[in-house]
Structure 1
Amino acid sequence: MKIPEPVGPVDPMDPVVRTVSGAVRGRTEDGLAVFRGIPFAQPPVGDARFGAPRRVRPWDGVRDACAFGPPPPQDLGVAGTVGPPDVPEGDDWLTVNVWTPAPDPAAHRPVMVWIHGGSYKLGHSGSPAYDARRIAADGDLVVVTLNYRLGMEGFAHIEGAPANRGLLDQVAALVWVQDNIAAFGGDPGRVTVFGESAGAGSVAALLAMPRAQGLFGRAVAQSVPGTFFSADLARDLGAALAAELGLRPTVDDLAAVDPGQLLKAGQTLGPKMPGRIDRWGRAAPTLTPYAPVVDGEFLPVTPWRALRAGAARGVDLVVGHNRDETRLFTALAGKLGEIGEERASAALRLYAPGGEAAYRAAFPEASANDLYERVQTDWLFAMPSLHLAEAHLAGGGRAHVYELTWPAPAQGGALGACHALDVPLLFGTFREGLALLQFEGAEPSAEALALSSRFRSSWTAFARTGDPGWPAYDTVRRLVQVLDTESTVAPYPQETSRRLWEGYDFAPLPLLAPGPEA
């Protein structure tokens, strides 16, 4: 295998680590050894397109690892905030990045592996929002971030291809960690996976996947989405996506199509989805035709059912959500605080487990806008996260639960504790990604910096010891960590919602009626 030319001058003092595939040269930055763009699998192109990830081919010599690998094909994101506009190009999408205090094989430091979010269709590990240096330095541990296939490449149903290819990429990256992280100073026996939004959905899926068993011992899931597709729904969505290109949803039809053309299928179909609620049900308004598929093989059942059956009882779990998750989406749509009765009633009819009347009775003083946000926050993130903890307890595991209630400072706090606010707080990256909206580019306040430090200390303590600093959740006291200016341990704050959703089964989203493409 040919070694890429080094980017910039080579310093003889730069750290070099030998992986099982070959040696890599990183850089020393702010007291850390940093390695970027290390391949953990072969590029999934050519005859590897739409296949399970293949082990990377070994190389001779020393491979330069100072630049992030190219991101997988993806949507542009939200107003260009997901990543830098000058990302590298190429098809070597499946790479990892490592931050370590010292690549000393005798160090045996805890390892944290980050899985980014982005609706399963956008995002990449090279985004400045995921600069992991503060986590590695503050926690004195090793941090790994990774890319995985997105959109049609990673999650669409394609006949002749394995399901959940993006999840299989994540498993392959975790296998790479097991094989190589000791050389970077990490302990392969103390691996914590952590992720947010679609990354948290991925963490939940990994807890349920037989192929991922034994690859990590702790997990942090931040805002778990409840959207997992049934095989029938995924098949119908795959047919609709291919139909946007005038093709069949098969490897034979799609393997020769440029990835950029496949992106257009999702970008065209997404805006049409809300008009097909009678066909795709609750999946339609999400605007994304991608999610993990309960395929019966790689993901046999939903995470909630798997954990309830004890599939991950030996894995310690931290799981939680933000109080005002969906306010981010109403803000991005330009509808912040403007939702009226008609849209609120439609949302309540679609999502509320006890129907519209039950939610209105439970929140008698809530405005139409508040009810719209509350029921969607509950359905999409809050209750899936809480139910994951309760399922883990039922299966014999231990879980710690949190809720972020600190409001984003933008627009005088109008965004509330919105979706993805936990990302800049955890990474300390206040001027990157969605933080540009949440913090309006301003310098973080003293309370923001203090809460950011609290996030990192709790997450890294959990990775180190299994204890994030607050009591484990139980179904009697229901104590959770409330993260705010003054963080407290208190009974779960959304008790009204919890009661409304008690006993609800987050089953795979069904196909209500097949479309003509099928």
Structure 2
Amino acid sequence: MTRAGAVRGRWRGEPGAPGASAAFLGIPFAEPPVGELRFAPPEPARPWEGVRDALEHGPTPQRGDPGATIIPEPSVPGEATLNVDVFTPAPGPAGAGAGAEGLPVLVWFHGGGYVAGSPASPWYDGRTFNRDGVVTVNVSYRLGFDGFGWIEGAPANRGVLDWLLALEWVRDNVAAFGGDPGRVTVAGQSAGGGAVLTLLGMPRARGLFHRVWAASPAVADVSRDRAKALARRIGELGGIRPDLDGLRSLSEERVRQLQREALRAARGTRGGGAQLVADGLPIGPVVDGDLLPATTTSSLASGVGASVPLVLGTTDDEFSAAFRAAAGRLRWVPRKSALKRLGLAEPRRSAWLEANRGEGLHGTAAVLGRYVSDHVFRAPLVRTVAARELGATVAATDGAAPAATWAYRFSWRSPVSGAAVHCLDVPFLFDVLPEGHVPAVAGVRPPQGLADRLHADVVAFVRGADPAWPTAAGEAFPARLYGSTIATMPDAYASARPLAGV
């Protein structure tokens, strides 16, 4: 029984048996964002009468075939795109099989660069976390220009407002599924990892969660000027004013088409990796001075979120695959010249090459892949760790008790790609290696022991335990290394430090 009405889920396995899991899919937390609610703040779902079947994934903000992606991400048609999927081993009021206070809760935010992705991925099924006594909630949110575009007359950061309302739904309803609203961990990967860091640094999100796990976080922090420039370009391409009336006059599909055209024009002849290095993510949470008063790093350094424990990490070769196809052409290009074209100037260029001497043995394509990985993911992690240290000092000065930060690296190299590429860690984190799509990414015999360890560490953290490796503090901070062996690595992010500027 939710606050809006009763929902009926489906058991997977015999109720009460070890490993049994109940899935409640497509529960609306907001009204469909269509008509007058299009480009508006999310409006809580209206109550319904009777029992609502929650047996199938709800409609997704992602439309159509997203093309080749590492993670299987199905699109589901329909208007009611703001919904949650709840997976629980103990459905019913907290205390009825879940303990007096209920089970810990993991809220998962999918990735996709803030323009794609689907909570309906089989990789995000919560059954393995249920097996280990954790209630899991997957969240959908508006994507692309609908969720994050700047529109005169409409609120900014509509996708972020979706996150907040979904977390309020969890606070108000998760006890009905056996969860404890006082033990909520938010987690995500890529844009989802960026989402949970954005939430951590957002004053308005305070109290809606209690722990954070960010995998390969891609924080957008789009400036208002850049967001407005994209809106103007879309207006020009569509022949409308980029305001609320103008955008509502266009169909959803037409806005997505204009978004693609505008981004393609902005990218010009640059590849995706070069564009990310030069400009960052083009669409995502906007530093609007209101909901997001400052960049995420600045907010964390000011002490926002300092009392919330944080684990964050990256894969070792996030963007190596982006340059593999060009390895033949790049073999004749000097590394320094190639890095200069990507905007890396002296003296940081020499310092970074010195810190990555081993990568140079694999050719210029490998060097560029590591550089983009460092620039987009690993150097921001170093800055986040530094910001958390500053924030802890501010919090302590104000009399608060700051929480710790832990870092990790996922370094296992897939036999398919020969690298620890972006998204490779996700099936290990969820412990879903038997899923059908996993061999295409991780090979036919990925190491189950590695999945056991990473998944167990996430479960322990969600349950409230501190990680078993040293905290990330100081300039040369250590990290857990998830690879062929599990170890603690000192100065784990040395390769990215020359780019971090801290």
TM-score, length basis structure 1: 0.85
Between 288-297 and 44-53, report the one with greater CA deviation.
Answer: 288-297
Q: Is the 8 A contact 2:220 2:281 kept in 1?
A: no
Alpha-carbon spacing, 1:115–1:265, altered in 2? closer, same or farther (3 Å)? same
Question: Could you tell me how far 1:314 is from its partner in structure 2?
Answer: 1.1
Alpha-carbon spacing, 1:477–1:267, altered in 2? closer, same or farther (3 Å)? closer
The aligned counterpart of 1:501 is 500
Alpha-carbon spacing, 1:309–1:433, altered in 2? closer, same or farther (3 Å)? farther
Q: Is the 8 A contact 1:323 1:404 kept in 2?
A: yes
CA RMSD of aligned residues (A): 2.5
The aligned counterpart of 2:425 is 422
Between 109-118 and 368-377, report the one with greater CA deviation.
Answer: 368-377
Tell whether 2:365 aligns with 1:369.
yes
The aligned counterpart of 1:460 is 459
C-alpha distance in 1 between matches for 2:326 and 2:247? 38
Question: Could you tell me how far 1:460 is from its partner in structure 2?
Answer: 0.9
Q: Is the 8 A contact 2:321 2:369 kept in 1?
A: no
Question: Could you tell me how far 1:345 is from its partner in structure 2?
Answer: 3.3
C-alpha distance in 2 between matches for 1:402 and 1:195? 15
Alpha-carbon spacing, 1:344–1:125, altered in 2? closer, same or farther (3 Å)? farther
Alpha-carbon spacing, 1:327–1:81, altered in 2? closer, same or farther (3 Å)? closer
The aligned counterpart of 1:64 is 53
Amino acid at match of 2:5: G
C-alpha distance in 1 between matches for 2:351 and 2:245? 49
C-alpha distance in 2 between matches for 1:247 and 1:470? 55
Give the length in aligned residue pairs.
472
Alpha-carbon spacing, 1:167–1:407, altered in 2? closer, same or farther (3 Å)? same
Aligned equivalent of 2:323, options 297, 310, 330 = 330
Amino acid at match of 1:450: G
Question: Could you tell me how far 1:269 is from its partner in structure 2?
Answer: 2.6
Q: Secondary structure at the residue paired with 2:24? A: strand
Aligned equivalent of 1:162, options 148, 155, 164 = 155
Q: Is the 8 A contact 2:26 2:83 kept in 1?
A: yes
Between 427-436 and 114-123, report the one with greater CA deviation.
Answer: 427-436
C-alpha distance in 2 between matches for 1:232 and 1:476? 33
Q: Secondary structure at the residue paired with 1:410? A: coil
The aligned counterpart of 1:236 is 229
Aligned equivalent of 1:48, options 37, 54, 59 = 37
Question: Could you tell me how far 1:288 is from its partner in structure 2?
Answer: 5.8
C-alpha distance in 2 between matches for 1:84 and 1:433? 13
Alpha-carbon spacing, 1:162–1:326, altered in 2? closer, same or farther (3 Å)? same
Q: Is the 8 A contact 1:71 1:147 kept in 2?
A: yes
Alpha-carbon spacing, 1:395–1:75, altered in 2? closer, same or farther (3 Å)? farther
Q: Is the 8 A contact 1:227 1:380 kept in 2?
A: no
Tell whether 2:470 aligns with 1:474.
no
Q: Is the 8 A contact 2:352 2:498 kept in 1?
A: no
C-alpha distance in 2 between matches for 1:180 and 1:90? 24
C-alpha distance in 1 between matches for 2:388 and 2:118? 29
Amino acid at match of 1:385: L
The aligned counterpart of 2:16 is none
C-alpha distance in 1 between matches for 2:206 and 2:280? 32
Amino acid at match of 1:92: A
C-alpha distance in 2 between matches for 1:100 and 1:299? 33
Any idea what the Cα deviations from partners look like across 1:403-457, whole Å, max 9, x if unmatched? 111112204x2xx111111111112344769846423xx4333xx2111111110
Aligned equivalent of 2:298, options 305, 310, 318 = 305
Matches within 5 A, 1:323-402: 323-331=316-324, 334-335=325-326, 339-340=330-331, 341=333, 345-352=337-344, 354-363=347-356, 366=360, 367-396=363-392, 397-402=403-408
User: Identity, % of aligned pairs?
Assistant: 38
Any idea what the Cα deviations from partners look like across 1:303-361, whole Å, max 9, x if unmatched? 11111111001100001111111113335xx3357535279735445453745444345
Q: Is the 8 A contact 2:315 2:421 kept in 1?
A: yes
Any idea what the Cα deviations from partners look like across 1:451-494, whole Å, max 9, x if unmatched? 11111100110011241322222216622101112110121333
Q: Secondary structure at the residue paired with 2:238? A: coil
C-alpha distance in 1 between matches for 2:264 and 2:313? 29
Question: Could you tell me how far 1:282 is from its partner in structure 2?
Answer: 5.5
C-alpha distance in 2 between matches for 1:498 and 1:422? 23
Q: Secondary structure at the residue paired with 2:230? A: helix
The aligned counterpart of 1:218 is 211
Aligned equivalent of 1:114, options 101, 108, 116 = 108
Which consecutive residues of structure 1, in runs of 5 or more, have no partner in the other structure?
1-17, 504-518
Question: Could you tell me how far 1:120 is from its partner in structure 2?
Answer: 0.5
Q: Is the 8 A contact 1:226 1:380 kept in 2?
A: no
Alpha-carbon spacing, 1:254–1:477, altered in 2? closer, same or farther (3 Å)? closer
C-alpha distance in 1 between matches for 2:70 and 2:374? 26
Q: Secondary structure at the residue paired with 1:221? A: strand
The aligned counterpart of 2:6 is 23
C-alpha distance in 1 between matches for 2:328 and 2:130? 39
Tell whether 2:465 aligns with 1:484.
no
Q: Is the 8 A contact 1:349 1:355 kept in 2?
A: no
Q: Secondary structure at the residue paired with 1:188? A: strand
C-alpha distance in 1 between matches for 2:497 and 2:222? 23
Tell whether 2:412 aligns with 1:406.
yes
Alpha-carbon spacing, 1:84–1:171, altered in 2? closer, same or farther (3 Å)? closer
Q: Is the 8 A contact 1:348 1:359 kept in 2?
A: no
Amino acid at match of 2:200: L
C-alpha distance in 2 between matches for 1:357 and 1:80? 34
Alpha-carbon spacing, 1:284–1:276, altered in 2? closer, same or farther (3 Å)? farther
Alpha-carbon spacing, 1:208–1:181, altered in 2? closer, same or farther (3 Å)? same
The aligned counterpart of 1:135 is 129
C-alpha distance in 2 between matches for 1:247 and 1:223? 37
Q: Secondary structure at the residue paired with 1:191? A: strand
Amino acid at match of 1:352: L
Which consecutive residues of structure 2, in runs of 5 or more, have no partner in the other structure?
14-19, 393-402
Q: Is the 8 A contact 2:234 2:259 kept in 1?
A: yes
Aligned equivalent of 1:263, options 238, 243, 256 = 256
Amino acid at match of 1:497: A
Q: Is the 8 A contact 2:277 2:372 kept in 1?
A: no
Alpha-carbon spacing, 1:91–1:286, altered in 2? closer, same or farther (3 Å)? farther
Question: Could you tell me how far 1:44 is from its partner in structure 2?
Answer: 0.7
Amino acid at match of 2:456: S
TM-score, length basis structure 2: 0.88
The aligned counterpart of 1:513 is none
Amino acid at match of 2:311: V
The aligned counterpart of 2:78 is 90
Alpha-carbon spacing, 1:360–1:249, altered in 2? closer, same or farther (3 Å)? same
